[in-house]
């Protein structure tokens, strides 16, 4: 069962990153990226890396990607025009070579699986990590406030 969940998570990550690569709509791309980020966060939580996993979902997917979505909806970006076949070919060439080189260059990466239950996540979150997550949230709030101030300044 655990392996099945892991396989589904990996599959979801690959599918959502492909959607970002192939879509012509900015909004769909941003939504797929939010899904991608959240799935990575779930994977990290499942592998017992609770703080980075929670931060990934709460701060990165919940904060930064929402900023991007907000900007895209505010600017009202339209779909990109269809590309000529040569450009698509060059894109695939870039994708293929980068994939090959990064796969060959990366060292053996594997998680040391310790396994974690939902109850443990709750306990750990409330007892140990609560103050840290709150700290990140406060820091992010200050960034958000400065962002809004900057936008309102530019409108005047």
Partner 1 sequence: MVKFVVAFLISSGLGVVFLKKNPLLMLLGLELCLNGVILAIAARYSQSNFEDDALIIAGILFLFCIAVIETVILATLQLKLKHNSL
Are the CB atoms for 23 and 102 separated by under 8 Å? Answer: no
Which of 111, 120, 123, 130 binds partner 1 (CB under 8 A)? It is 111
Task: Figure out which of the listed residues 73, 99, 122, 123 binds partner 1, where binding follows CB under 8 A.
Answer: 99
Cα separation, 39 vs 60, in Å, equals 12
Contact residue for partner 1 among 42, 43, 46, 57 (CB under 8 A): 43
Q: Rounded distance, CA 62 to CA 64, Å?
A: 6
Q: Which two tokens stand for residue 27?
A: 């909004």
Distance of CA 112 to the CA centre of its chain: 22
Is residue 154 part of the contact set for partner 1 (CB under 8 A)?
yes
Give the residue with the Cβ less far from partner 1, 89 or 122.
89
**Token couple for 151:** 């936008």
Report if residue 136 touches partner 1, rule: CB under 8 A.
yes
Sign of dihedral through CA atoms 57, 128, 130, 134? negative
SS3 content of the chain, % helix, strand, coil (to 5): 80, 0, 20
Task: Kindly state the smallest distance separating residue 83's Cβ from partner 1, in Å.
Answer: 7
Assigned token pair, 134 = 């709150």
4 contributes a contact to partner 1 by CB under 8 A: no
The C-alpha atoms of residue 96 and residue 21 are separated, in whole angstroms, by: 13
**Interaction residues for partner 1, span 11-30 (CB under 8 A):** 13-14, 17-18, 20-21, 26, 29-30
Summarize as ranges the residues that interact with partner 1 (CB under 8 A). 10, 13-14, 17-18, 20-21, 26, 29-30, 33, 36-37, 40, 43-44, 47-49, 51-52, 55-56, 59-60, 63-65, 67-68, 71-72, 74-75, 77, 80, 83, 87-88, 90-92, 94-96, 98-99, 102-103, 106, 108-112, 129, 132, 135-136, 139-140, 143-144, 146-147, 150-151, 154
């Amino acid at each position: 069962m655990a392996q099945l969940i892991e396989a589904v998570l990996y599959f979801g990550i690959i599918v959502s990153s492909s959607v970002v690569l192939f879509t012509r709509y900015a909004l769909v791309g941003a939504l797929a990226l939010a899904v991608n980020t959240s799935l990575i966060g779930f994977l990290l939580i499942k592998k017992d890396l609770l703080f980075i996993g929670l931060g990934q979902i709460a701060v990165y997917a919940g904060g930064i990607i929402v900023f991007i979505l907000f900007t895209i909806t505010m600017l009202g970006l339209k779909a990109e025009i269809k590309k000529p076949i040569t450009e698509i070919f060059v894109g695939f060439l870039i994708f293929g070579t980068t994939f090959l080189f990064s796969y060959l260059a990366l060292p053996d990466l594997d998680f040391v699986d310790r396994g974690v239950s939902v109850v443990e996540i709750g306990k750990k979150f409330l007892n140990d990590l609560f103050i840290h997550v709150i700290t990140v949230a406060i820091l992010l709030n200050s960034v958000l406030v400065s962002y809004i101030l900057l936008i309102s300044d530019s409108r005047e």
